[in-house]
């Protein structure tokens, strides 16, 4: 009986935590580390870019997760549910209909059995990299770290390895700064295709597996009709995002954190940045050594990222470009 009770308690802990954080967020409070930064733009004006980032002209990013299994691109988890997309046809031919074999069934096929992070990191250093960035979670809502609040993670299933942790250990061994990228902010609306169904054929109207409420912790709840932007207006998900990325920060303390969007979710996002800055200051005797970067100009409050491009003017602030 004792073991059963403990197991049940672990299952409900994430829900209780998110519910608590949601209530506090609605009251204008989120669990932010104490320090000089508050969740406000004027507070972020105090940010000074660390020298290590100014000097690090080249980094390498691993954009790798379960979507690598079909080898059809990094949006496969969405495109396999879009009836007119080539990935949908590929999925039918190789795995079956997405009402019967969905993305949740792709995840266990990702084993990472030949992955050697130490060998790769030595190669990256030899190539001249000064920092390395591991993907933390893509839009597929699958976490590559050892999460206690989200069961869909790489330690619990798939490779059953702490991908973020092993990348970090390999980077530190080579003397490289370590970062993580989060693409989770866009996941809520991005993954809504999994809630659909075919518009024609033998399976017309049969819901894809994303519509099954048993898997809503992976595919999310359905959106409201007006919720179609890259970043959702769903407050419950926004707080789930905060809790998840805060866990990533608190457990792995990355030197760099990248968001695949503009700064997410207004004050919720500001709270996360303030927490990220403050927890690093507390760990480094009052010195800020971390970098937050996203796809939004900030006037120096964080580092602007330009995906597959460059700025068209000379900027007084450091910035980052990324490509693949």
pLDDT digits (tens, 9 = 90+) for 39-60: 999 999 999 999 999 999 999 9
Question: Is residue 18 over pLDDT 90?
Answer: no
Q: What is the dihedral of CA 217, 219, 224, 229, to 10 degrees?
A: 120
pLDDT digits (tens, 9 = 90+) for 82-134: 999 999 999 999 999 999 999 999 999 999 999 999 999 999 999 999 999 99
pLDDT value of residue 323: 85
Mean pLDDT value of segment 218-230: 96
The Cα-based distances of 252 to 104, 147, 164, 242 in angstroms read: 26, 11, 8, 15
Using an 8 Å Cβ cutoff, are 138 and 189 in contact?
no
Q: Mind listing the domains of the chain with CATH numbers?
A: 2-71+115-189+214-322 (3.20.20.80)
* Backbone phi, psi, residue 131, to 5°: -145, 160
Instruction: Decide: residue 290, CB within 10 A, 0-12 exposed, 13-18 middle, 19+ buried.
Output: buried
Mean pLDDT value of segment 175-191: 98
Mean pLDDT value of segment 237-253: 98
pLDDT value of residue 28: 56
Using an 8 Å Cβ cutoff, are 152 and 110 in contact?
no
């Amino acid at each position: 009986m004792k073991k059963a009770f403990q197991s049940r308690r672990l299952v409900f802990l994430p829900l209780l935590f998110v519910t608590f954080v949601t209530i506090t967020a609605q009251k204008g409070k989120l669990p932010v580390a104490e320090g000089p930064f508050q969740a406000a733009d004027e507070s972020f004006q105090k940010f000074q870019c660390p020298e290590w980032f100014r000097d690090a002209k080249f980094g390498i990013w691993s954009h790798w997760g379960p979507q690598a299994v079909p080898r059809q691109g990094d949006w496969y988890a969405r495109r396999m549910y879009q009836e007119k997309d080539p990935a949908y046809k590929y999925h039918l031919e190789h795995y079956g209909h997405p009402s019967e074999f969905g993305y949740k069934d792709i995840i266990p096929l990702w084993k990472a059995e030949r992955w050697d992070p130490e060998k790769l990191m030595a190669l990256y250093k030899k190539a001249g990299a000064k920092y390395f960035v591991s993907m933390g979670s893509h839009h597929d809502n699958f976490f590559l770290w050892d999460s206690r609040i989200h069961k869909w993670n790489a330690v619990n299933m798939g490779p059953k390895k702490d991908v973020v942790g092993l990348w970090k250990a390999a980077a530190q061994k080579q003397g490289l700064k370590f970062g993580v990228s989060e693409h989770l902010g866009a996941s809520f609306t991005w993954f809504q295709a999994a809630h659909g169904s075919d518009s024609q054929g033998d399976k017309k109207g049969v819901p894809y597996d994303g519509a099954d409420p048993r898997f809503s912790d992976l595919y999310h709840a359905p959106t409201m009709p007006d919720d179609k932007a890259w970043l959702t207006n769903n407050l419950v998900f926004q707080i789930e995002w905060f809790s998840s990325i805060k866990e990533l920060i608190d457990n792995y303390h990355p030197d760099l954190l990248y968001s695949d969007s503009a700064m997410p979710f207004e004050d919720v996002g500001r709270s996360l940045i303030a927490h990220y800055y403050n927890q690093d200051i507390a760990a480094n005797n009052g010195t800020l050594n971390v970098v937050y970067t996203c796809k939004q100009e900030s006037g120096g409050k964080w580092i602007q990222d330009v995906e597959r491009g460059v700025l068209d003017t000379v900027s007084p602030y450091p910035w980052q470009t990324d490509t693949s």
